[in-house]
Amino acid sequence: MIGKVRNTIEQYGMIQEGETVLCGLSGGADSVTLLLCLKELGYSIRACHVNHLLRGAESDRDEQFCCELCERLGVRLDVIRVDVRALCEAEGLSVEEAARRLRYQAFESLGCTKTATAHTLSDSMETALFNLARGTGAKGLCGIPPVRDGYIRPLIACSREEIEQFLSERGQGYVTDSTNLEDDCSRNIIRHRVIPVLKEIDPAAERAFARLSRSLAEDNAYLEGEARRLLEDASREGGYDSRRLASAGRPLLSRAVIMLLRREGLRYDEGRIGELCRMIGEGGKLCLSGSTFALCSGGVFRIAVLSEPQDEEVSVPGTGSYELCGRAAEIIITEKEQFDNKVNKLLTYLSLDYGKIRGELVIRTRRAGDSIRPAGRGCTKSLKKLFYENIPAEKRADTLLLCDAEGVIAVEGIGVSERAAVSEDTEKLLLFGTGR
């Protein structure tokens, strides 16, 4: 047992020389074995017991057991009590989810770079079966990873039977969480009913799962590496080349999509991944969460936060700088022959014939029904359609328009109206400058 734990630590490079490892200690058989193994192997360790305050006197018993064990072993112990039920009520979480969140927050509050948890091969197999029942990809069938971020699982190659035998040989006691004996949750049903049936078919079912897990993990690691390269190759200004992504095929595309969603901290499931893969091939728009959308148009796929449409307006009495939607715009009115290009080089300017402007000028954002007859195109188009064709979705809410008494005469990123376009007869220019 000790040798198997040592080999697992070395195989996955779990602990570096000089590191102090925080050991999660519930008092159960698995965590007691973890503590003893790390102690016997000579690693620098400390322990943390998280009391979830869920089982009354039994929770107090577990805490007292951990205190006495660590005192006997000479291991520093931090006891942290958390209110799981309060978090459940505040955020609508299940007891299991709230307990897990608070437990990991407690570990992280102690500032150790490595935390060892007592997940075993049996736990990993139960997790894979649970994922299988819910519907999962290859990664879900790998079970629990030996290393993830700063968390290590030195017992991940050990079965529950091996752990119980290890403790029996040393005469070491442990506590049992009574809720683990009840078939009131999916994981316990798998543990008490499904696993025993599998072991009737093959007593070495856990070993068989270990081989499958290693094989799937190697395959998945390779595919994820290829998916990362796909994203690098498809990256372009403002997003990703959707044609390059779609041509890669579903195994790589789905993993690339998952990576993008994780970067944004967005939840996903098989249905959402399928929707995004189809959208990358066909184009479209999909709300991912709140104001965060996936967008695919013009051969570019991107995830962006879209602002709420804004209806703002500022009057333009003449030459000057103006602010709208938190953005700067500039108006320059000058004689054509006197124009010498001395303008703000950070802005992009549209040139209009000032003599063709009718009534008062305003700068504003787009409104329903807006249209323009772009110079040189020979037809009138709605701004809604022009925005879709020319303006990235995340920029549409604050794209600036210049309007006179008869309507829209200039739109940044699109151009000027035919009726206000500069010609050979133009005497006075109006320059409309904007910048992103």
Residue 196 shares a structural domain with residue 118: yes
Give CA–CA dist 352/350, Å, rounded: 7
- Residue 239 backbone class (left: φ over 0; alpha: ψ -120 to 50; beta: rest): left
Confirm whether 80 is domain-assigned: yes
pTM over 0.75: no
The two three-digit tokens of residue 90, written as one number: 């505040």
Confirm whether 271 is domain-assigned: yes
From first to last of its 436 residues, the chain has per-residue pLDDT tens of 899 999 999 999 999 988 999 999 999 999 999 999 999 999 999 999 999 988 899 999 999 999 999 999 999 999 999 999 999 988 888 888 999 999 999 999 998 999 999 999 999 999 999 988 888 888 888 999 999 989 999 999 999 999 999 999 999 999 988 777 676 678 888 988 999 999 999 999 999 999 999 999 999 999 999 999 999 999 998 899 999 999 999 999 999 999 999 999 998 888 899 999 999 999 888 889 888 889 998 899 999 887 666 788 999 999 999 998 888 899 999 888 777 666 667 788 999 999 999 999 999 999 989 999 999 888 999 999 898 888 887 788 889 999 999 999 999 999 999 999 999 899 999 999 998 6
Determine the length of the chain: 436
φ/ψ (deg, to 5) at 143? 80, -145
Confirm whether 408 is domain-assigned: yes
**Cα dihedral 197→200→206→208 (10° resolution):** -110
Q: Which amino acid is at 380?
A: T
Assess contact for 407 and 372: CB atoms under 8 A.
Answer: yes
The two three-digit tokens of residue 431, written as one number: 């320059």
Picking from 37, 314, 334, 28, the residue whose alpha carbon sits closest to that of residue 175 is: 28
DSSP notation for 382-397: EHHHHHHHHS-GGGGG
Confirm whether 230 is domain-assigned: no
Give CA–CA dist 279/273, Å, rounded: 10
300: containing domain:
237-305
Residue 325 shares a structural domain with residue 292: no
Q: What is the number of structural domains in the chain?
A: 3
Element (H, E) at 268: none
Give CA–CA dist 354/33, Å, rounded: 84
Q: What local confidence, expressed as pLDDT, does residue 59 receive?
A: 92
Of 261, 288, 305, the residue at which a domain comes to its end is 305
Residue 280 shares a structural domain with residue 414: no
Assess contact for 51 and 29: CB atoms under 8 A.
Answer: no
Q: What local confidence, expressed as pLDDT, does residue 184 receive?
A: 63
The two three-digit tokens of residue 414, written as one number: 């699109």
Count of CB atoms within 10 A of residue 169's CB?
9
Residue 296 shares a structural domain with residue 319: no
Assess contact for 236 and 392: CB atoms under 8 A.
Answer: no
Residue 298 shares a structural domain with residue 255: yes
Residue 53 shares a structural domain with residue 89: yes
Q: What local confidence, expressed as pLDDT, does residue 340 receive?
A: 65
Q: What local confidence, expressed as pLDDT, does residue 150 receive?
A: 92
Give CA–CA dist 130/267, Å, rounded: 19
Residue 277 shares a structural domain with residue 381: no
Give CA–CA dist 199/195, Å, rounded: 6
Q: What local confidence, expressed as pLDDT, does residue 246 receive?
A: 94
Residue 31 shares a structural domain with residue 122: yes
Assess contact for 332 and 346: CB atoms under 8 A.
Answer: no
Give CA–CA dist 174/172, Å, rounded: 7
Confirm whether 254 is domain-assigned: yes
Residue 43 shares a structural domain with residue 155: yes
Q: Per residue in 39-89, pLDDT tens? A: 999 999 999 999 998 889 999 999 999 999 999 999 999 999 999 999 998
Residue 99 shares a structural domain with residue 179: yes
The two three-digit tokens of residue 157, written as one number: 């190659």
Between the CA of residue 316 and those of 12, 319, 411, what are the distances in Å?
A: 67, 8, 15
- CATH at 108: 3.40.50.620
Residue 397 shares a structural domain with residue 424: yes
Picking from 316, 401, 391, the residue whose alpha carbon sits closest to that of residue 365 is: 401
Confirm whether 367 is domain-assigned: yes
Picking from 303, 350, 4, the residue whose alpha carbon sits closest to that of residue 161 is: 4
Q: In a 3-state reduction of DSSP, which class is residue 77?
A: strand
